[in-house]
Amino acid sequence: QSVLTQPPSASGTPGQRVTISCSGSSSNIGNNNVFWYQQLPGTAPKLLIYKNIQRPSGVPDRFSGSKSGTSASLAISGLRSEDEADYYCATWDDSLRGRVFGGGTKLTVL
């Protein structure tokens, strides 16, 4: 059971906008920056978002992050079939004194 809660699944059709939520607490999201990772089937995770809203070079602007209080969200607009993957939020937890991942959300493009 992760300290960061994500919905296990999400879905959308091509071109749609999908949002994935990540809920935490004051000891993690509420006091630290959030990261988002994309894991395509059979591959290593890839950094999508850092510092809540920033995209590394090469990540399309279709991906955007936000944070409010103890929750964060990842939005994917103009959904494409290649976006079908598992998405994980992550942050630092002050109480645990370590990094934590959400349980992951499996995104299906219908």
Partner 1 sequence: QVQLQESGPGLVKPSGTLSLTCAVSGGSISSSNWWSWVRQPPGKGLEWIGEIFHGGSSNYNPSLKSRVTISVDKSNNHFSLKLSSVTAADTAVYYCARETATADYGMDVWGQGTTVTVSS
What does 45-70 look like in DSSP terms, one character per residue? Answer: -EEEEBTTTB--TT--TTEEEEEETT
Residue labelled with tokens 């493009």 = 109
Q: Site mask, partner 1, residues 2-21, x = CB under 8 A? A: x-------------------
| Binding piece for partner 1, criterion CB under 8 A, among 10-18, 20-28, 75-83, 93-101 | 93-101
Q: Does 101 bind partner 1 (CB under 8 A)?
A: yes
Binding residues for partner 1, total number by CB under 8 A = 25
What does 7-47 look like in DSSP terms, one character per residue? Answer: -SEEEE-TT--EEEEEE--TTTGGGS--EEEEE-TTS--EE
Q: Does 104 bind partner 1 (CB under 8 A)?
A: yes
Q: Site mask, partner 1, residues 41-60, x = CB under 8 A? A: ---xxxx--xx--x-x----
